[in-house]
Amino acid sequence: MLGINLLFAGFALTLNGVSYVTEMDNKAKGIANCFVGLVIGINAVFQVAQATNHVTFGFSAAMWLFALNYLVIGAHLLLGSVNWKVFGLYSGFATLVSTIFAVETIVNGGPWIFLYLWGMWAILWLQSFLAISLEMKKVDKFTPHILVINGIGSTFIPGVLMLLGIV
């Protein structure tokens, strides 16, 4: 199920990144983000229940970070919110969690792929935190690129590789 979650996250990240450079309907994008959040959240419940060690439990539980992420984005878009500070603060929290798990992977000698994924996600959420909460305009201009790179490199490709049984 982790592969499915990553595939859906890849879709949402890429969609959100592309929406910065091309016009998209916010309601449709909001519904897509809510749907992705629900799919990932429901799958995460089953993943946690089937976890066999602290690594698979942590990674499975972390999918709730993505689920809430897309539900918050979807709610902002559907409600026409102009103040995204809640998402910015959430991104700060997700950055902290991602960094903790990246360090834990290093300390415990976990698989390099987990270090790569946690690191990429920490960068993704740090960018959102800086751009939204601290209103750093120089950071915000990189948002579309960071979203698309993360959508493809840290979710879509690993998700496909997991579903194919390669990783």
Q: How far apart are CA 17 and CA 93, in angstroms?
A: 21
Q: Give 54: exposed, middle or buried? Use CB within 10 Å, 0-12, 13-18, 19+.
A: exposed
In this prediction the pTM is: 0.87
Q: How many domains does the chain have?
A: 1
Q: Which of 64, 68, 75, 66 is nearest to 30 (CA)?
A: 75
Model confidence at 140, in pLDDT bands (50, 70, 90)?
confident
Calculate the CA dihedral of residues 73, 75, 77, 81 and round it to 10 degrees: -100
Name the band, by pLDDT with cuts 50, 70 and 90, for residue 29: very high
Quick one: pLDDT band at residue 112, thresholds 50, 70, 90? confident
Distance of alpha carbon 143 from alpha carbon 128, whole angstroms: 8
Maximum Cα–Cα distance for the chain, whole Å? 45
Asked whether 56 and 14 are in contact (CB, 8 A), the reply is no
Q: How far apart are CA 96 and CA 116, in angstroms?
A: 16
CATH of the domain at 19: 1.25.40.600
Q: Range of 25's domain?
A: 2-163
- Tell me the per-residue pLDDT of 35-66, one tens digit each, with 9 for 90 and over: 999 999 999 898 888 888 777 777 777 788 88
* Angle of the 112-128 helix axis to the 143-150 helix axis, nearest 10: 150
Q: What's the pLDDT band for 139 if we cut at 50, 70, 90?
A: confident
